[in-house]
Structure 1
Amino acid sequence: MAKMQRNTLLVILSFFAIYFIWGSTYLWNKIAVTELPAFMLAGIRFVTAGSLIFIISKFLGLPLKISKQEFKNTFIAGFLFLTFGNGVVVWALKFVDSGFAALEVSAQPLVVLLMMRIIQGKKIQPMSIIGVILGIIGIFLLVGQKEIIAQEGAILGMILIFICMLSWSYGSLFVGKAELPKNFFVNTGYQMLTSGLSLMIISTFLGEKWSSPLTWSTPVIWSMLLLIIFGSIITFTAFNYLLRIVSPDKVATSTYVNPIVAMILGWYFLNENITLQSAIASVVLLTGVYFINTKKSLTILSRFSGKRIPKKIIE
């Protein structure tokens, strides 16, 4: 596919989006989930975002009609990435800090790499082996903290996030070969709308207590609006735009920035504690992710839009 014409200002704004806005979604989700049921929250977010994407697509004259196979695949991808991958992580935020969740999620490239080795038999490059070793050490340092494990529900939260990473990682392999709508904006709309409806059904099945937005507190209302407009629509569009403009290894640098942003915002706004061991774990883990995302390793990891793995469980 030919490269799109580069707009320097648009590139800068897009990088700002994938660095800082995506890193902020952990804070927004954490604020909202303290008051709203997790699956209801995620369901409303994605149904609204998906509906807005369809309205925008219609206004822009983009064709919304897709084949049955494309619809089936968007449903599966939406389930792996958003229904399960995002919905359960939001639920896990009830038990762990937002910064901790972001740091654990940053190990996703490691999980993808190992899954591709196990499922597809792909050879792991030498630099990636170093990354895997560092990643495992970083995760061990992160989850092995007594003060965190002692918190009620913390272990459950850690396990849920890890399972979600498996879901996202398998989804990464799935979308690399699946027949999906050619227009990424329309593809995103279908994934968000179908996953949002699925999350609402799950919420109803689990007996979550729904509430009217009129009863929500001001911080929750603002968090939801930010998640829908910035976290779902604008940032994902910026991500796909960058994949067509710059090299995928530059886009992958958001993997190193998001957890730091999430940890700082969680510390500043929610008084979340950043321990020395967490800081050390973040350095080791993100160094491992760097080795995995080096140019040689990207030939293995690049599976989303033909270029790289999908970014953010909770974005």
Structure 2
Amino acid sequence: MLIILAFFAIYIIWGSTYLLNKIVVTEVAPLYLASIRFSTASVLIFIIAKVLKLSLVISKRQFLNNVFAGFLFLVYGNGVFVWALKYVDSGFGALEASIQPLMVLIMMRMIDGKKIQKKSIIGISLGIIGMYLLVSQDQIVFQENSLIGIIMIFTCVISWSWGSLFVARAELGPNYFVNTGYQMLCSGILLSFVSLLFGEVWLSPLHWSVSAQWSMGLLIVFGSIVAFTAFNYLLKEVSTEKVSTSAYVNPVIALILGWYILDEQITGQSVVAAIILLTGVYFINSRRTIKPRMHGR
């Protein structure tokens, strides 16, 4: 049941962050937005952990592992991805990001020598086809220096995939919730420095619109604290390629929420693309779910 709830979090909640980020980023610089989101979430996590009497003590090695994981996921994987969208269409960015499950399987093959199952190959192929149908409805616009954007997004996919495999194996600490706090604290601080480096304008949250303030609140509580903790938990409990299927489900959820809340149009091609995407997820997730426990971890 806990695994099912965790998948609900990374599928549904993370799918909603597309909408929430879209609302906030119209008023707030993207890297500054991310730094506030992750820094505030980390403080709340540590407060809740103390109330629940969870130990915040981790070893130096565990702390450094959490810093590295946070960098791969949130600073590089998330921050650089947003920056790269200046040079390519967001639809193309989503399409390129959909190769993440394939990248995870290739890395697992290279690192562990793990054989790629036929069902996984079918699922990933359907996922990429579905994502192409989803984003190809809007003409993909290649701007000046688009090659830079394409290359940087590809490195973000590698970073997120590497981070997923790293967390699945690394010694991070006994509590998933506390681990999330350390990853977000370090990432929030690093992102604030990067934001200043890029010369972003820092506008006080008091001067944001009410919708932006509420959206940021939901991003912090659900998108960061709940969903990212669930993500860390799943990487330890199920195979990494199954966790990466969120790259297929999130755009479908975003599509539905955009239609329901912002009155965005859903075309017949979008419906077909969503069905193909979710069928791909079924193929990848239809194999054994629970990881065999490894002694000495």
Name the TM-score, length of structure 1 as normaliser.
0.75
In the alignment, the residues of structure 2 paired with residue 181 and residue 267 of structure 1 have an alpha-carbon distance, to the nearest angstrom, of: 41
How big is the shift at 1:254? 6.2
Question: Match of 1:85?
Answer: 77
Partner SS state of residue 280, structure 2: helix
**Alignment check: 8 A CA contact 2:242 2:285 kept:** no
In the alignment, the residues of structure 1 paired with residue 272 and residue 127 of structure 2 have an alpha-carbon distance, to the nearest angstrom, of: 12
In the alignment, the residues of structure 2 paired with residue 273 and residue 201 of structure 1 have an alpha-carbon distance, to the nearest angstrom, of: 39
Partner SS state of residue 147, structure 1: coil
Question: Match of 1:177?
Answer: 169
**CA distances 1:110-169 after superposition (whole Å, capped 9, x unpaired):** 3211222244432111212222333343444455x3733137689677765544222111
Structure 1 pair 105/267, CA: closer, same or farther in 2 (3 Å)? Answer: farther
1:31 to 23, 27, 42: 23
How many pairs were matched up?
292
Partner SS state of residue 72, structure 2: helix
Structure 1 pair 259/101, CA: closer, same or farther in 2 (3 Å)? Answer: farther
1:148 aligns with 2:133: no
**Alignment check: 8 A CA contact 1:131 1:292 kept:** yes
How big is the shift at 1:250? 9.7
How big is the shift at 1:242? 7.9
How big is the shift at 1:42? 0.4
Partner SS state of residue 182, structure 1: coil
How big is the shift at 1:93? 6.5
In the alignment, the residues of structure 2 paired with residue 11 and residue 132 of structure 1 have an alpha-carbon distance, to the nearest angstrom, of: 22
**Alignment check: 8 A CA contact 2:89 2:141 kept:** no
1:121 to 113, 138, 157: 113
Question: Match of 2:224?
Answer: 232
Letter in 2 for 1:24: S
How big is the shift at 1:11? 8.7
**Alignment check: 8 A CA contact 1:139 1:281 kept:** yes
Structure 1 pair 265/92, CA: closer, same or farther in 2 (3 Å)? Answer: farther
1:49 aligns with 2:41: yes
**Alignment check: 8 A CA contact 2:73 2:160 kept:** yes
Structure 1 pair 16/153, CA: closer, same or farther in 2 (3 Å)? Answer: farther
In the alignment, the residues of structure 2 paired with residue 19 and residue 63 of structure 1 have an alpha-carbon distance, to the nearest angstrom, of: 29
Partner SS state of residue 148, structure 1: coil
In the alignment, the residues of structure 2 paired with residue 203 and residue 88 of structure 1 have an alpha-carbon distance, to the nearest angstrom, of: 11
Letter in 2 for 1:148: Q
1:22 to 14, 27, 46: 14
Identity across aligned pairs (percent)? 61
Partner SS state of residue 200, structure 2: coil
**Alignment check: 8 A CA contact 2:89 2:140 kept:** no
Question: Cα RMSD between the aligned structures?
Answer: 3.9
Point out where structure 1 has 5 or more consecutive residues left out of the alignment. Answer: 1-5, 307-315
**Alignment check: 8 A CA contact 2:35 2:188 kept:** yes
In the alignment, the residues of structure 1 paired with residue 145 and residue 254 of structure 2 have an alpha-carbon distance, to the nearest angstrom, of: 18
2:204 to 212, 236, 239: 212
Point out where structure 2 has 5 or more consecutive residues left out of the alignment. Answer: none
2:123 to 125, 128, 131: 131
1:283 aligns with 2:287: no
How big is the shift at 1:40? 0.6
Letter in 1 for 2:113: G
